[in-house]
Amino acid sequence: MIWFKSKEHIAALVTAGIATLALITSFYKTDAEVYLFPRIAAVIITLLAVTLIIKVIKNTAKTVNFSDSLPKLIKWKTLLPGLAVGFIYLFLLEVVGFYVTSFFAYFSICVIYGRCDMTNRKRGIFKLVVSTIFMIVLFLLFWNLLHVRTPTGWLI
Amino acid sequence: MYQRTKTCQLTKMCQRIKVYQRTKKYQRKSKFTKLGIMLGTSLLTIAATTNSYAEGYPERPIGVMVAYNPGGATDFQARIATLASAKMKDDKPISIGQPIYVTNKPGAGGRKGWNWFADKAPKDGYMMAAYNVPHFIAQSIVYDTKYNINNLEPVGNWGADPAVLIVGKDSPFNTVADLVAFAKENPGKITVSGAGKFVGHHIAHLQLAKAAGIDIKYVPGKGGVGAMKLVKGGQVKAGFNNLSDAARASEDIKILAVADLERHSFLPDVPTLKESGIDVDNSSVNFRGLMVPKGTPQDVIDYLAKSVPVMFEDSKTIGKMKQTNSPVKIMSRDEVVAMWAERQTALSALLEGLK
Amino acid sequence: MEFLNYFGNVFTVYHMSLLIGGTLAGLILGALPGLSPTMAVALMIPFTFHMEPAAGLILLGAMYTATVAGGAISAILVNVPGAPANIATALDGHKLAGQGRAAEALFYCFTSSFVGGIIGIIILIFFTPPLAKLALKFGPTELFWIAILGITIIGTIGSKSVVMGLLSGIIGIALSTIGANPMLGEDRFVYNEHLESGIHIVAALIGLFAIPQVLNLIEKSRDAKDAAIHDLGESNVLKAVLYNLTRIKALSIGSIIGVIVGVIPGAGGQIAGLVAYDQAKKLSKNPDKFGKGEPDGVIAAESANNAMVGPSLVPLLTLSIPGSPTAAVLLGGLLIHGLFPGPTLFTEHAEVTWTFINSLLVAQVFMLIIGLILSRHSGWIMKVPAHFMAATIFILAVFGTYSIQSSYSDVLIMATLGVFMYFGSKLGFSPAPVVLGIILGPIAEDNFLQGKLIGEASDGVFNYFTSGVLNITMITLVVLSIGYSAYSEAKMNKLKQKILADKERNNSNTQKDNNTQGAV
C-alpha cells in the first residue's frame, strides 16, 4: 500500500473522487445546454486531477524514503466532540430557537475545550457568565439593533 | 392558537420549576446546579414573555416577508406601503394598529421566499408576504413550487407597474411599427432584454411575439437593472422594463409603448401596445400587494382585508410613493382574488408548451 | 469645483456625529467575523428611512467605507475575512500577525485604506462623466473576458501549487452553478430543497474561512505551548504610517486597480483586492515573499478595496447601475429618499448629492483616525483563550450567515462547506481560490449566455466575442496573464529542482523536518 503514505497521495485520491462525482452529476441524465458550464468545469477538474495524480506518481518514484505510517493529519479524538456539538446545535437551531441553542453550544464548546479540568467549578461559573453575557450582547445586536428576526422555535 | 398554547406550556414550565425550587431536594443541590437552574428559568421566562399575547388580533408587531433583496423595488415599496400600519387617531388605530417589520428572504427569483411562506410561515396572521403578480403565478405554473393561487390569500394590493417597450437613444426604431416591420424582414435578429425568465417582462415579450407574429429573441438580464443596462449600452436592440424605471431614464432611452390597457399618467404621450396595433392585454403588469397563507383564521383575514387597503391609502404613504416614482394602485381583497384567477387562466394558456 | 460649495454642509454637529457613529459602527460590525459590509449596509437602510435624505446617505456612506476597512481587522487577527474583498488582506496580514506584527499590519491596513479611499473619491468627484460612458461600454462579452482574466489568477492566489490552486478555483466555479439559475430559468443540482437558491457568496466565504479556523482553534486548544505566540506586537504608529506611505508602488498598483475594477459595473468590486494583490506580487522584486507576511501584499489589497468604493458609485449615481454588491444596496437607500440616479442628481438634488460625496471624503479621515486607535487597542483579541475564541467565531458565523437573507439553508451550506474545507486544508487546498471561483463562476456564465444569445441574433457568437477594441484588449490581457503565470511557474520549477538537488546532498536531516511539518 504505497498510496496512503503522504498527504499528497490522499489529496490525489480525494481529487479523483471529486472529479468522478463532478463528471457523473453533470453528464448523467442532464440537458447539454443547461449544464454547459458544469460540464466544462467537470472536464477541467478531471484534467487537473489527472495532472495531480501523474505528478504524485512521478514524485513517489523519485523520493524513496518517507514515513512508514499514515501521517497523522487530524486529531480525531480532540475534534469529534466539537463536531458533535456543532451537529446537534445546527440540528436543533430551528426547532428549539436560535438564542437558546446558541447559548448551550457556546457553553459546551467552552467547557469541552477549556484548558482546565472540566469539573473545576469556579472556571465553570466563569464560563457560564461569559456565555450569558455573550448571548445577551448578541441578542441586543441582532434582534434590537439590526432587527434580524431569527425564527422562534419552542423558545427564542 | 398555536402560539398561545406554546406560551401556556412555557408559563406552566416556569411555575413548575419555581415550585421545585422550594423543595428540600433543591436545597441540597450545589451552588453550581442552582445557578444553572436559575439561568434556565430566567431564559424560559424571557421566552414566555416574548411570545405571549392576550385576546384579540393584532397584539404584537406583524412581519412582512419580501422575497427579494433589501433595497430592491419590491422591498422599498413594501416598506413605504406599510409605513402607516401603527398610526393612531383619537387613541384608535386607523388601519392595522400594530407596527410592521420587513424580513427579506431572497433567492431563486422569489421562489425561495414564497416556498418558505406557503410551507413554513406561521398561519396566525403575524406573518404576511409581499406578492408579485405575474411572477409567482407564472412560476407556480412552470416550476414545481409549494405555492399557487389556491394556498395563498391576498389581503390588498398597493401598486401596479406596467412593462414598457424601450429602445436605446440612438436606435433607428421610433415606433412599435418600425420594430415589427424590421423583425418581419429579419426574423430572429431582434434581441429584447428583460429582468429574467418568467417575470412580467418575459410575459410581455411572449405576448408581443405572439400577437405581432414575429420571431424576436429574449435575453434575460440580471434583474431589471441589468436589463436596462443592456439597452442603454446598445448591446440589445430593444427591451422590456418597469415603467417607473424607464420613466426616470427617459434621457438615455426611447419609450415606444406601454403594455397595459390604458396610457399611464407618468407617460401620457406614450401609446399602449394596443393603440400601436398589437393586441395585448395587461397580463404582464407587475402587481404588488400583501397576502397571508391559507389556513389563517377567517376573522384575521377579514380584519386584514378591511384594514390593509386603508393603510395603503394614508396620505403620507401616497406622497412617499409618488416621490419615489412608484405607481400606486390600491385594490381590495375581492378585486385581487378576481385578478389572480384571471391571470392564472391567461398565463396557463400563454406558457403552455414552454416547459 | 462645484463640490466645494457644499463642503460646509458636512460640518454640522448632526452630520458629524452621524459620520463618527457610522464609522465606528461600521468598523466594529465589519470587524466581527461573519458580518459582511453588504449586510451591514442593508440592515442600516431601515434606520435611514425616517431621516433627512442627506443625513441618511451620510450614515450609509460612512458605514460603507468603514465596514470595508473593518473587515480587515478580523482578516488579520483571526484569519476570517469580513468580506470577499478582504481575502487578499488575510493572505499576508494573518501571516504578519503570526510573526507578532499584528499591530503593524493593522496600521498598514488603515493607512492604505485611507490613501486608496481618498484617491477613489477624488476620481468620483472629477471624472464621473467620462467614466460613466466607459462603464456602459462593458457589455456581456467584455465582462465574460474579465471573468476569464480573473480565473487566470486563481492558481496563484494563496496556494502552494498552481495545480491545487486551479483545482480549488474550478471546484468553486462548479459549486457556483448549484441552484436555480434565473437566467436559464432552470434548476441545477437541486437534490435537496436547501440547495434551491444555490450557494450565497458570503455564506460560502464565512464557511470556508471561519469554520476551519474554529476547528483549528479547538484542535490546538489543549496545546499549552501555542498560547504564548499570540501577541499584538509592539509597533510605532507614526513609523508604520510613514513606512506605508513610502511604498508608492504597492499603493499605486492597488489604487489604480481598485479604481478600474470599481467602475466596471457587475464585475464585482469583491475581486479588486485579489487582482491588486496578484499584480503587486507579479510586479514585485521578490514575489516569493508574498504569502509569507509581506507588508506590500496588505498595502496593495487594502488600498484597492477602498479605492473601489468611490468609482463603484460612478455607474450607480449616473446610470443607476451599481458597481459592487454594496453599491446595489446603496441604490435602494437612494431610491427610498426619492433621489433617482441620473443627471438630475447633480442639478436638482445637487445639495444632497454633493454633501453625500463630500461626507465620504471626510469619512475617510475618521476611518483612519478611529481605525488606528482601534488597532492599538485590539490586542486583547489575540489574548482571548482559544476555546472562547472558537465558540465566539462559530456562533457569530451562524448568526452572520443567517442574517444575510434570513435563510436556515444558508447556515447549513455554510457549515457543510466549512467542515469540508477543514479537511481539504489538511491536504493542501486553500479557501481563497474556492471563493474566487464562486464569485467569478456566475459572472462568466451569465455573461456568456447573454453574449451567446445576442451573438446568435447578429453576426455569429465567435465574432461577437472577439470583435471590438475592449474585447481584444481583454483577450490580450488574458493571454499575457497566462503567459506570465507559465513563465514564473517554469522559473519556480527550476528553483525547486535546485533546492531538491541541494536537499539530496544532506537529505537525511531535511527529510525528517519535512515529514514533521506535513503532520502539523
B159-199 tens-digit pLDDT: 999 999 999 999 999 999 999 999 999 998 999 999 888 88
Given a cut of 70, whether residue C249 has pLDDT beyond it is yes
Q: What global pTM score does this model have?
A: 0.84
DSSP structural state of residue A3: G
CB contact under 8 A, B189 and C198: no
Q: How large is the average pLDDT for residues B326-345? A: 93
Domain ranges of chain A: 3-62, 76-145
**Amino acid B19: pLDDT:** 59
| CATH code for the part of the protein at B163-258 | 3.40.190.10
Does residue C197 sit at the B interface (CB-CB below 8 Å)? yes
**Amino acid B27: pLDDT:** 57
Residues with Cβ within 8 Å of residue B156, at least 6 apart in sequence: B289, B290, B304, B305, B308, B309, B311, B312, B330, B331, B332, B333, B336
DSSP structural state of residue B170: T
Given a cut of 50, whether residue B334 has pLDDT beyond it is yes
Burial B59-78, CB ≥16 within 10 A → b, else e: eeebebbbbbbbbbbbbbbb
Query: Of B280-289, C38-47, C507-516, where does mean pLDDT reach its minimum?
Result: C507-516
**Amino acid B114: pLDDT:** 93
| CATH code for the part of the protein at B62-160+290-351 | 3.40.190.150
Burial A28-49, CB ≥16 within 10 A → b, else e: eeeeeebbbbbbbbbbbbbebb
CB contact under 8 A, B324 and C336: yes
**B47 min Cα distance to partner chain A (Å):** 5
Which has more pLDDT, C396 or C237? C396
pLDDT digits (tens, 9 = 90+) for A34-50: 899 999 999 999 999 99
Chain B partners of A156 at a C-beta cutoff of 8 Å? 43, 46-47, 50-51
pLDDT digits (tens, 9 = 90+) for C322-338: 767 778 778 877 877 77
Query: Of A22-26, A61-65, A121-125, B96-100, where does mean pLDDT reach its minimum?
Result: A61-65
CB contact under 8 A, B43 and A100: yes
Q: How large is the average pLDDT for residues C261-283? A: 82
Partner residue facing C342 (CB), from B72, B248, B355: B248
Of C11, C115, C99, which Cα lies nearest the Cα of C58? C11
**Amino acid C114: pLDDT:** 94
Partner residue facing C321 (CB), from B80, B109, B229: B229
Chain B partners of A152 at a C-beta cutoff of 8 Å? 50-51
Whole-complex ipTM: 0.91
**Amino acid B30: pLDDT:** 59
Query: Of B69-73, C41-45, C128-132, C349-353, where does mean pLDDT reach its minimum?
Result: B69-73
Residue A4 main-chain phi, psi, to 5 deg = -95, 30
Domain ranges of chain C: 2-502
Here the contacts of B202-205 (C-beta below 8 Å, separation 24 or greater) are B202/B138, B202/B240, B203/B134, B203/B138, B203/B163, B203/B283, B203/B284, B203/B347, B203/B350, B204/B163, B204/B165, B204/B240, B204/B259, B204/B280, B204/B284, B205/B240
Q: What burial class does residue C374 get, using C-beta atoms within 10 Å of its C-beta: 0-12 exposed, 13-18 middle, 19+ buried? A: middle
- A17 pLDDT tier (thresholds 50, 70, 90): very high
Given a cut of 50, whether residue B4 has pLDDT beyond it is no
**Amino acid B13: pLDDT:** 54
**C239 min Cα distance to partner chain B (Å):** 43
Domain ranges of chain B: 2-51, 62-160+290-351, 163-258
- The helix/strand/coil state of C337 is coil
Q: How large is the average pLDDT for residues C3-25? A: 87
Give me the residues paired with residue B255 across strands: B166
Asked whether C224 and C94 are in contact (CB, 8 A), the reply is no
Partner residue facing B50 (CB), from A103, A125, A156: A156
Given a cut of 50, whether residue B6 has pLDDT beyond it is no
- The helix/strand/coil state of B297 is coil
- C517 pLDDT tier (thresholds 50, 70, 90): very low
Strand order in the sheet with B163-168: B217-220, B191-194, B238-242, B163-168, B253-258
Q: Compute the residue count for chain C.
A: 520
Instruction: For chains A and B, count residue pairs whose Cβ atoms are closer than 8 Å.
Output: 32
Given a cut of 60, whether residue B53 has pLDDT beyond it is no
Q: Which helix (H) or strand (E) holds B104?
A: strand B100-104
**Amino acid C81: pLDDT:** 87
Q: What span, in angstroms and rounded, lies between the C-alpha atoms of B220 and C268? A: 19
CB contact under 8 A, A38 and C188: yes
Write the CA distances from C38 to B77, B253, C68, C309, C356, integer angstroms.
20, 30, 9, 12, 19
**Amino acid C510: pLDDT:** 46
**C383 min Cα distance to partner chain B (Å):** 27
How much is the mean pLDDT over chain B? Answer: 83
CB contact under 8 A, A110 and C511: no
- B205 pLDDT tier (thresholds 50, 70, 90): very high
Residues 61-80 on A with a CB inside 8 Å of B are none
User: What DSSP string runs through C78-140?
Assistant: HS--SSGGGHHHHHHHHHHHHTT-HHHHHHHHHHHHHHHHHHHHHHHHHHHHHHHHHHHH--H
Q: How large is the average pLDDT for residues C30-45? A: 80
- B1 pLDDT tier (thresholds 50, 70, 90): very low
Q: What span, in angstroms and rounded, lies between the C-alpha atoms of C270 and A112? A: 37
Q: Which residue from C minimizes the CA distance to A115?
A: C222
Chain C partners of A74 at a C-beta cutoff of 8 Å? 423, 426
- C102 pLDDT tier (thresholds 50, 70, 90): confident
Given a cut of 70, whether residue C229 has pLDDT beyond it is no
Chain C partners of B143 at a C-beta cutoff of 8 Å? 187
Of B74, B225, B72, B76, which Cα lies nearest the Cα of B136? B74
Asked whether C304 and C114 are in contact (CB, 8 A), the reply is no
Given a cut of 60, whether residue C480 has pLDDT beyond it is yes
Q: What is the 3-state secondary structure (H, E, C) of B13-79?
A: HHHHHHHHHHCHHHHHCCHHHHHHHHHHHHHHHHHHHHHCCCCCCCCCCEEEEECCCCCCHHHHHHH
Q: How large is the average pLDDT for residues A68-72? A: 54
Q: Which residue from C minimizes the CA distance to A110?
A: C387
